[in-house]
Amino acid sequence: MANTSKPREVDFPGTKIQQNIPQTTQDNSYLKLSTKDKKQVNLSSSQLEAWFASLKTKELDPGATKTVDKAEAPSLTTQYLGRYGLKTAQDVIDFLKSPAGRTVQALIGDRLIEIALLEKNLQQIRQDSEIRRHRALAALLLGLLYKKQARAKERRAENDKETKRLLDQQREITHSANAADAAHSYAAYAQSLAVLQETLEHKIKESEELEEELERLEKEEHKIEQRYHNFQNSLDSLDFLQEFLEAHGTERQYNVLEKLSQEINSLHAHLDNEQEFDKETIQLFQERKNFLQNQQQFLLNFRAMSPAMMLEQRIDSLNHTLEEQAEEIARLLSVRGDRQTVEQAETEAMNLLQKHNGLHVQVAGLQDMLSVIKGEKLLFDNDGRIVTSFAQAAFVMSQKQAKEYKILYKDGKHYLLTPNQDPDQFDNLKREEKEQAEKSYNRLRPDICNLKHLIHHNKALEFHDHQKKKDSLSQRSEQMQSEILLISTQMNQLQDAQQALSLVLKRGHTPGSQPDITPKSAPTPKPNLRKIVSPSQVGDSMTQSYRHILLLMKMNPTPQSLDRLQNMFRGPDGQVPTSVQNILASIRIGKPIPQQTMDNLLKNMDRLAARKPIGPVSSKALQAPEEHTAPNPFSIKPKMTPFQ
């Protein structure tokens, strides 16, 4: 394909020749020249023709221009070459390719390289000139920019001066405001305080209701944990007994007893350090230790029996305990007396009832184990295969149920198939048959499911529902805390402004003006309010608001609530007292605040929200405005003022 790019021309003595010219379809003759410096140069026939024509023209007419008309070039070249016996440019190319033309090739190549270097130097000169020109322009622009910045700085200084003058003028106007305007402002502050006081009282009532809900939810969570704690003890008892029976007659029985002893010793160590745990946790440790000791004693006493006899003995013993517990529960529920006595009896009955239910679970598990040993029931794993160990079993079915149904687990669901339904052909069943198989499983699941799996499943569902309630109440609590704190902050700010304005009214003049204490210049504010809020009432409201904020965050402290609590205890210097920092550091996010920590924080609430009431103004206060700062509830140095 022809290359139509324009060739680059370089100067040559007496004319111009083309260097490194891409060839067209009309000129395909090249000669590669190698210089003494081992550089490669391409020379074409068209270049030679132009070169020779230029030389001839210079010879015939020294005063002619360097440029030769292209139309005349071939004839002049032919005349020149004829004198030397070479007729065409191709003859010259052939000659140069011969051994005799190597010297000429080197001369031509060196000349072409020299021409290229000359042009490169010219380009560098032009480039340096452009760089100097651009630098001069840049210096000029930079000077203009500096001049513009200097003018802008002068204008800013003038603007700042004018702004300061306007501010000073505005201060003079503000200072010269009359007492009547101050009285109207005082009335507006009082009106706003009354509205905020009513709003805060309403929010406090809502917070009390929310606190009751949180307290009920906390008690409910404790009951759930206690119930499943008893269930877990029963399940652990079944696991210990199952492992002991599977190792019947072997040394592995001692491993089971050793495991029990290790856990009992660990609980002993926890109980020896009661100060590190709360009361409820200590109670759980004690119950767990008693349970394990009872289990250990039973295994030691009846280990010589056969598995079936050991299970029957354990079932009889637990049934006797259940009868005694049922009688005790009935007795507690029939207690009569004052309200406190009845409530205490009901609480004991409920606690005993949870242990009673836990023993029922243990008895049911023991009966399943006994039925499996006697061959009355079979164990199945999660996929419906028969197994021999309760540790692997997900389902326990009687012989009759095992004949009537087949368990299938597919795509995360369980199905109970009839004997004539092939599990391998489940995908070919009708949709109604699949739905019926799923319903059959859901209906019989409580009867055939392994107790451990059933209890863990129910526990997950119950705690999931409880957590949803807890999250909902926590969101409401966070919103309520923010609203109460916002209203309290606004009341503090309004009271500060009202106190400052009250001093102005009592002095009868504004700062910057001459005192003129007359009834006319200092009118008494008489706001038309349904309820006047006194400073002491504001202080009481602050105490209540801070107390309710703390109670709302008790069950589930969040990072936001801890930040709010820390800011409430922050002093005028922006620092939180070290004693309070230590208390706040003991609070764990997402964990209920310990009662001792709550008591320590509640003790500081009265001092935290204390406000000084507005009383008679001393002569010193009339001479200079009093500097109001927020009180520090943790200061141990009494500040004696006329207001105390």
The answer as to whether 470 is a domain residue is: no
Question: What pLDDT score does 633 carry?
Answer: 38
Question: What pLDDT score does 84 carry?
Answer: 58
399 and 296 fall within a common domain? yes
The answer as to whether 95 is a domain residue is: yes
Task: Read off the pLDDT of residues 153-170 as tens digits, 9 standing for 90 and up.
Answer: 888 888 888 888 888 877
* Segment 624-629 long-range contacts (CB within 8 Å, at least 24 positions apart): 625/500, 625/503, 625/511, 626/503, 628/496, 628/499, 628/500, 629/572
Q: Are 557 and 590 in contact (CB under 8 A)?
A: yes
Using the 8-state DSSP alphabet, how is residue 274 labeled? G
| Sign of the CA dihedral running 320, 326, 327, 329 | positive
The answer as to whether 67 is a domain residue is: yes
Question: What pLDDT score does 168 carry?
Answer: 81
Question: What pLDDT score does 83 carry?
Answer: 61
Beta-carbon contacts of 446 under 8 Å, excluding residues fewer than 6 positions away, are: 454
SS (H, E, C) 476-491: HHHHHHHHHHHHHHHH
367 is in which domain, residue-wise?
204-465
Confidence of residue 24 (pLDDT cuts 50, 70, 90): very low
279 and 381 fall within a common domain? yes
120 and 210 fall within a common domain? no
To 5 degrees, how large is the angle CA 569–CA 572–CA 577? Answer: 40
Picking from 454, 451, 421, 457, the residue whose alpha carbon sits closest to that of residue 438 is: 421
Q: Are 214 and 477 in contact (CB under 8 A)?
A: yes
Question: What pLDDT score does 328 carry?
Answer: 92
Distances (CA, A) of 324 to 52, 316, 353, 555, 588: 133, 13, 12, 37, 42
Task: Read off the pLDDT of residues 512-565 as tens digits, 9 standing for 90 and up.
Answer: 444 443 334 444 444 444 456 666 666 677 777 778 888 888 888 888 888 887
Domain closes at, from 104, 124, 144: 124
Residue scoring higher pLDDT (529 or 321): 321
The answer as to whether 584 is a domain residue is: no
The answer as to whether 356 is a domain residue is: yes
pLDDT mean over 79-85: 55
- State the Cα–Cα distance between residues 86 and 81, nearest whole angstrom: 5
Q: Are 416 and 424 in contact (CB under 8 A)?
A: no
Domain closes at, from 437, 465, 493: 465
Q: Is the pTM of this model over 0.85?
A: no
To 5 degrees, how large is the angle CA 229–CA 235–CA 238? Answer: 145
96 and 226 fall within a common domain? no
The answer as to whether 198 is a domain residue is: no
Confidence of residue 132 (pLDDT cuts 50, 70, 90): very high
118 and 211 fall within a common domain? no
pLDDT mean over 482-500: 84
The answer as to whether 30 is a domain residue is: yes
| Tokens matching residue 584 | 């706040």
251 and 381 fall within a common domain? yes
| Tokens matching residue 577 | 């007292």
Residue scoring higher pLDDT (425 or 568): 425
Residue % of the chain over a pLDDT of 90: 8
Residue scoring higher pLDDT (153 or 503): 153
Task: Read off the pLDDT of residues 385-437 as tens digits, 9 standing for 90 and up.
Answer: 888 888 888 889 988 888 888 888 888 888 988 888 888 888 888 889 888 98
Half-sphere exposure of 218 toward its Cβ, with a 13 Å CA cutoff?
Answer: 17
Task: Read off the pLDDT of residues 336-364 as tens digits, 9 standing for 90 and up.
Answer: 888 889 888 988 888 889 889 989 988 99
Task: Read off the pLDDT of residues 443-459 as tens digits, 9 standing for 90 and up.
Answer: 888 888 888 888 888 89
Give me the number of domains the chain comprises: 2
SS (H, E, C) 181-193: HHHHHHHHHHHHH
pLDDT mean over 466-471: 89
Question: What pLDDT score does 85 carry?
Answer: 64
Domain closes at, from 441, 465, 489: 465
Question: What pLDDT score does 59 carry?
Answer: 61
The answer as to whether 606 is a domain residue is: no
Task: Read off the pLDDT of residues 90-102 as tens digits, 9 standing for 90 and up.
Answer: 777 777 777 777 7
Question: What pLDDT score does 79 carry?
Answer: 54
104 and 227 fall within a common domain? no
Give the pairing type, strands 413-417 and 395-398.
Answer: unpaired
